[in-house]
Amino acid sequence: MHLPEIDKYAHLDSPLHSWDPRVKIVSLFCLILSMVLASNLLVAGLGLMLAVALVFLSRIPFGFVFLHLRWVMLFVLLFFIIMPLTVSGEEIARFHFLSISRRGLELASLIGLRAFSAVLLVFPMIGTMKFSSTTAALQRLKLPNKLVQMIIFTYRYIFVALDEMGRMFMAARARGFRSGTNLHTLKTVGNLIGMLFVRSYERTEHIHRAMVSRGYDGTLRVLDEFALAKKDFLKAALVVALALGLYFAGWTL
Amino acid sequence: MKEAVRIENLHYTYPEGTQALKGISLRIYEGESVGIIGPNGAGKSTLLLHLNGILPAAGQGEGRVVALGEEIRRNDKRIRSDIGFVFEDPDEQLFMPRVFDDVAFGPLNMGLSGEEVKARVKDALRAVNLAGFEERSPHHLSAGEKRAAAIATVLSMRPQILVIDEPASDLDPRSRRNIIHLLNTFRMTKMIATHDLDMVLEVATRCILLDEGKVIKDGPGEEVLKNRELLEAHGLEMPLSLLLRSQNF
Ligand SMILES: Nc1ncnc2c1ncn2[C@@H]1O[C@H](COP(=O)(O)OP(=O)(O)OP(=O)(O)O)[C@@H](O)[C@H]1O
Ligand SMILES: [Mg+2]
């Protein structure tokens, strides 16, 4: 089964990998923000180029990135279908009763470019370190402790739940279940998912028990193993400058 | 001999109404290695859970549990770093993104310094032959490695009593052998619940047979495990090694 392992390439060596996780997250977050706020196509295009360059710099294979980009593409495609047809403005083509507006096409492109750049940047941001470093950094950045714990447990148990689901469907198939488009399939799948919820609930109780028995009192503690160097700040200055550049370029261009 | 655990007339009924323990009394002394055996549903896990005071709050109970001179109440919220509890499913014991954080979890909660935490993690992983596994993510460990890592997560707290529920279920023969070997290297007081009677024979100095929430038999390991009629009357089978010996193979 394919598992969503964002930190598969955390062991590589690149300027992004060696960057302090906290500074990296904050800096790249600024850059993502500037891309999401891009107000015209030119700036958004520049942003996309920058994002691609950063992915390249991170040495994460593009194949891996595209694999994870499928859903974003689907989402963007949806906008490309809906917006040119629904947004009113100068008409550039017409098929029978459907009219395609230039304004709609532009808006869809803008949204597409923004989405792609932002999602692409996630890879140099958190694909370049172990997931444990990401969560430890988020914690050091004073993200609410409960939120960090939610992220940690979601990530840890998504694998367990997927395995469990795989096993349950396998068992159902072994007993002659074949999926099809009928009521029986729907009922079976519904039951299996219900089972999964019940098991997950029991599991959370058990995990909680295991945590409490090792002294958990509601606050998650991690060892602070980060060390800042001048290089970290230089990289940050560069990236934040780019972010500001993009943001202000949107006003003047 | 110094007493490690004293259980007096312990009763417990789950909120759903299952009477899991019906008057258990026993004493365990420091350095003993006690195998707790019994068929499914005998109450082994429920008994062990009383040692760290974590049971459904809505359950009904009476009796007393004293460990290392202190009374343990159900739903005791204090940290008991001197009692290390290894649960049956390692996936529930290993909940952090990497092995290091899991093994460091207990020590960090104990408020130890960073240096001390690191030293303990290192020692604990070495003790279970997982040196160098710090950065691995628990999901990618083999079943045997998960078991060992789960044990390391409590060893790092340096407990005086080690409580383990089913340490070798779903392990292949070699991993099972490794766990048996590991358990034999630990010097602290041990309480081990299992169906694996051959393992009990190897790791336990004493054996307690439970069924239907009561102590049926309590005695030196081999003595209990040799009693074929008794074991079979309670849904268990004599360890193969003893069976072979008794039939002079
Ligand atoms: N969380 C729970 N809620 C309700 N009843 C429970 C719960 N856990 C156990 N029981 C019941 O309590 C009784 C004793 O269970 P326990 O888990 O202690 O047995 P066990 O000896 O550990 O069995 P096994 O060998 O299967 O692990 C059983 O009848 C069981 O159904
Ligand atoms: Mg049990």
Q: What ipTM was reported for this prediction?
A: 0.88
Q: What is the DSSP string of B187-202?
A: -SEEEEE-S-HHHHHH
pTM (global) more than 0.95: no
Ligand 1 within 6 A of CB of B19: no
Whether residue A203 is contained in a domain is answered as: yes
pLDDT attached to residue A186: 86
Q: What is the CA radius of gyration of chain B?
A: 18
- A243 and A164 housed in the same domain: no
Whether residue A37 is contained in a domain is answered as: yes
| pLDDT tens for each residue of A149-175 | 999 888 888 878 888 888 888 888 888
Whether residue A158 is contained in a domain is answered as: yes
Quote the DSSP letter at residue A111: H
pLDDT score of A2 more than 60: no
| pLDDT tens for each residue of A180-219 | 778 888 888 888 888 888 888 888 889 988 998 898 888 8
Quote the DSSP letter at residue B88: S
- A120 and A168 housed in the same domain: no
Which segment of A52-61, A107-116, A187-196, B95-104 scores lowest on mean pLDDT? Answer: A187-196
Share of chain A above pLDDT 70, in %: 98
When pLDDT is averaged across residues A208-236 and rounded to a whole number, the result is 89
- A118 and A182 housed in the same domain: no
For residue A213, give the nearest of B52, B91, B108 by CB distance: B52
pLDDT attached to residue A4: 62
Query: Between residues 224 and 253 of chain A, which touch chain B (CB distance below 8 Å)?
Result: 224
When pLDDT is averaged across residues B14-38 and rounded to a whole number, the result is 94
Number of domains in chain A: 2
- A26 and A112 housed in the same domain: yes
- A50 and A30 housed in the same domain: yes
Q: List the residue whose alpha carbon is closest to atom 3 of ligand 1.
A: B14
For B3-246, which CATH class?
alpha beta
| Chain B: closest CA distance from residue A206 (Å) | 6
pLDDT attached to residue A253: 67
Whether residue A79 is contained in a domain is answered as: yes
Domain extent, residue A242, equals 21-129+226-252
| Chain B: closest CA distance from residue A242 (Å) | 33
- A208 and A244 housed in the same domain: no
When pLDDT is averaged across residues B130-159 and rounded to a whole number, the result is 94
pLDDT attached to residue A1: 40
| Chain A: closest CA distance from residue B154 (Å) | 7
For residue A203, give the nearest of B92, B104, B135 by CB distance: B92
- A122 and A230 housed in the same domain: yes
Q: What is the CA radius of gyration of chain A?
A: 23
pLDDT score of B90 more than 90: yes
Contact A210 B87 (CB under 8 A): yes
- A48 and A160 housed in the same domain: no
Phi, psi of A38 (to 5 degrees): -50, 130
Confidence of residue A8 (pLDDT cuts 50, 70, 90): confident
Which segment of A156-170, A233-247, B176-190 scores lowest on mean pLDDT? Answer: A156-170
Whether residue A5 is contained in a domain is answered as: no
Q: Does residue B150 or residue A100 have the better pLDDT?
A: B150
pLDDT attached to residue B118: 96
Whether residue A41 is contained in a domain is answered as: yes
pLDDT attached to residue B32: 96
- A98 and A157 housed in the same domain: no
- A25 and A125 housed in the same domain: yes
pLDDT attached to residue A96: 77
Nearest residue to B188 (alpha-carbon basis) of B25, B24, B34, B80: B34
pLDDT attached to residue B84: 94
Dihedral over alpha carbons B217, B27, B31, B128 (to 10 degrees): 70
When pLDDT is averaged across residues B119-142 and rounded to a whole number, the result is 93
Whether residue A221 is contained in a domain is answered as: no
Residues 6+ apart with CB under 8 A from A95: none
Q: Does residue A43 or residue A5 have the better pLDDT?
A: A43
When pLDDT is averaged across residues B186-212 and rounded to a whole number, the result is 94
Contact B97 A156 (CB under 8 A): yes
Whether residue A218 is contained in a domain is answered as: no
Quote the DSSP letter at residue A225: -
